Structure 1
């Protein structure tokens, strides 16, 4: 009898139990008007901010690059007159004249492009492998790894402007650390690391690499900590050494991290501005596109249209390697 009552209770409760998930799913699927408004607000705020501060200025720069505009007055579609220096020609349509002027009649342009490309290559060839090496060594759990990690990550927490000031003291001809150590701080034997156009770019790249390597290290450490320990154990069982385990087993699992690092590296290298501007405002061998954009838009001679054209060139240079890399990775992933 007792078993029959229990069976009857279970049978009576089973429809309610079966209907509970359905009611729960139905309840979760229905949102009140207040909840819908909250969701829309949470989506609308970041979209509006993104449009206002990222896509809006980018599209405005593309439009302004086809005009001769000083930042004051309106724009009009009338073509600029041959005597473009006249005040009444402000805001006139130039077509691709700003781009032509940058490529043919603006001496700092091509050195700036070369320096930006060199900056990118140094970050890819030196800073990224160095950060990866730091991450692998620290991930192996060496003694004092926490201290090393903190010391290497410290430059990332400092602003680039402060890093520029620190390295100015390091490179100072008279009382700088480097000249003092190598004995070249005498009046007749000074090495002007930041004033010599043949040395200053490489000196600044050392400072930039010092910071970038710590950033890359943290990203790779996050990827290494997330790697499945069973992969290492399986590789050891198969007789693989540490080098083979990393390159053939662990590194392929870091593909998402590699994509992030490549994108961040391209962006960081091509938008480099603070270091060179703090040192000598991007002149005397330290020309960069970002500095030229700033000097033309907010400098003494406000040429917003021409500065916007330089900004568009910088944007295109940034997008080309990122687009190629992302296309290759997604294509490879789809082919699997």
Structure 2
């Protein structure tokens, strides 16, 4: 008994204390490694985001207050204050048509593809036969770039041999110039953009519908609600987070639209957009870096104001409720 007590007192090999300390040290070492991995996973993307997004954004804001043709160094920049903004709003003839076209683009995409995407999502959520095939076919245009969509719809809208005029039977007798007529070309391009955007909206709503608790629908059915009442009063309110995502995505998609109109006619003759004006002023023949940066800042402020206003109203309603 005395020998055993002495071994235990002096930390004999079969004592549990050293093993406990070893386990704690191992856990501490693993915790430090996890923190390092987590720091790298968060830090590297954040650093890349800052360098590629926010640094250029702040640089554009700074350049919007200057006059520079892009030749020479930054010491050649002439700071003019808000003069670029004043000139754009008062003496730039292409600005207000482009602004009006962007508003039309936003409203059109907010209504037609959103309603169509929601309708298709509700149909596919009913587990139709060959539903996976329909879903893939409807989403396929979203995989294509807007530039490629522009090429495809140029073939459809071609006056003499285009698919649309062939269906309408107007290829020989006074064919409609869908992309050359400034009175209708914007809406023709919007149909092409909506064709691509609908599949994305459908997929977002379909994911939201899959997450709705079936018990809610069953409860509404037991209370005597029909399918339309169940959707409007039970399902659609549950889709509020999806509605917010759809709204933000549609605003961004509408205001950054560039590729499709630039492919068709470089954003002219009725297809002027703010994004095209930014490109024309920064890398075009005029090389007015200050004007292009000011237009980019205006585009950013428009998108942020629309999104923030919508989010504020939505969350204010939720708090009041």
Determine if the TM-score, normalized by the shorter chain, exceeds 0.5: yes
SS where residue 174 of structure 1 aligns? coil
Aligned equivalent of 1:132: 118
User: Partners of 1:196 and 1:170 in 2: how far apart?
Assistant: 15
User: Partners of 2:72 and 2:31 in 1: how far apart?
Assistant: 49
**Which of 223, 226, 229 does residue 244 from structure 1 map onto?**
229
User: CA 1:35–1:207 in 2, change beyond 3 Å: closer, same or farther?
Assistant: same
Task: Measure how far apart 1:64 and its partner are.
Answer: 0.4
User: Partners of 2:27 and 2:100 in 1: how far apart?
Assistant: 57
Aligned pairs for 1:37-52 within 5 A = 37-52=36-51
User: CA 1:219–1:37 in 2, change beyond 3 Å: closer, same or farther?
Assistant: same
**Which of 139, 158, 173 does residue 144 from structure 2 map onto?**
158
Indicate whether 1:142 and 2:128 are aligned.
Answer: yes
Size of the aligned set, in residue pairs, is 302
Task: Measure how far apart 1:260 and its partner are.
Answer: 0.5
Task: Measure how far apart 1:49 and its partner are.
Answer: 0.9
Partner deviation per Cα, 1:124-154 (whole Å, 9 max, x = no partner): 1111111100101111122332222111111
User: CA 1:176–1:64 in 2, change beyond 3 Å: closer, same or farther?
Assistant: same
Indicate whether 1:97 and 2:70 are aligned.
Answer: no
Partner deviation per Cα, 1:15-51 (whole Å, 9 max, x = no partner): x9xxx9xx99997677655443332222211111111
User: Partners of 1:189 and 1:58 in 2: how far apart?
Assistant: 48
User: CA 1:209–1:28 in 2, change beyond 3 Å: closer, same or farther?
Assistant: farther
User: Partners of 2:207 and 2:33 in 1: how far apart?
Assistant: 39
Which stretches in structure 1 are left out of the alignment for 5+ residues? Answer: 1-15, 77-89
**Which of 95, 103, 114 does residue 100 from structure 2 map onto?**
114
User: Partners of 1:64 and 1:225 in 2: how far apart?
Assistant: 47
User: Partners of 2:24 and 2:317 in 1: how far apart?
Assistant: 38
Of the structure 1 ranges 251-260 and 139-148, higher mean CA displacement relative to structure 2 is found in 139-148
**Which of 234, 243, 248 does residue 263 from structure 1 map onto?**
248
Partner deviation per Cα, 1:273-319 (whole Å, 9 max, x = no partner): 11100100000000000011011111122111110000011111101
Aligned equivalent of 2:169: 183
User: Partners of 1:234 and 1:36 in 2: how far apart?
Assistant: 46
Aligned equivalent of 1:295: 280
**Which of 189, 192, 202 does residue 187 from structure 2 map onto?**
202
Measured on the aligned residues, the alpha-carbon RMSD in Å equals: 2.1
The question of whether the paired residues in 2 share the 8 Å contact of 1:128 and 1:216 is answered with yes
**Which of 304, 316, 330 does residue 301 from structure 2 map onto?**
316
Partner deviation per Cα, 1:95-126 (whole Å, 9 max, x = no partner): 11111111111111000000001000001111
Task: Measure how far apart 1:75 and its partner are.
Answer: 3.5
User: CA 1:233–1:26 in 2, change beyond 3 Å: closer, same or farther?
Assistant: farther
Superposition TM-score, scaled by structure 1 size: 0.85
Aligned equivalent of 2:54: 55
User: Partners of 2:38 and 2:60 in 1: how far apart?
Assistant: 32
SS where residue 235 of structure 1 aligns? helix
User: Partners of 1:27 and 1:250 in 2: how far apart?
Assistant: 50
Aligned equivalent of 1:230: 215
Which stretches in structure 2 are left out of the alignment for 5+ residues? Answer: 1-15
Task: Measure how far apart 1:74 and its partner are.
Answer: 3.1
User: Partners of 1:96 and 1:224 in 2: how far apart?
Assistant: 48
User: Partners of 1:35 and 1:128 in 2: how far apart?
Assistant: 42
User: Partners of 1:172 and 1:184 in 2: how far apart?
Assistant: 11
User: CA 1:159–1:25 in 2, change beyond 3 Å: closer, same or farther?
Assistant: farther
The question of whether the paired residues in 2 share the 8 Å contact of 1:75 and 1:92 is answered with no
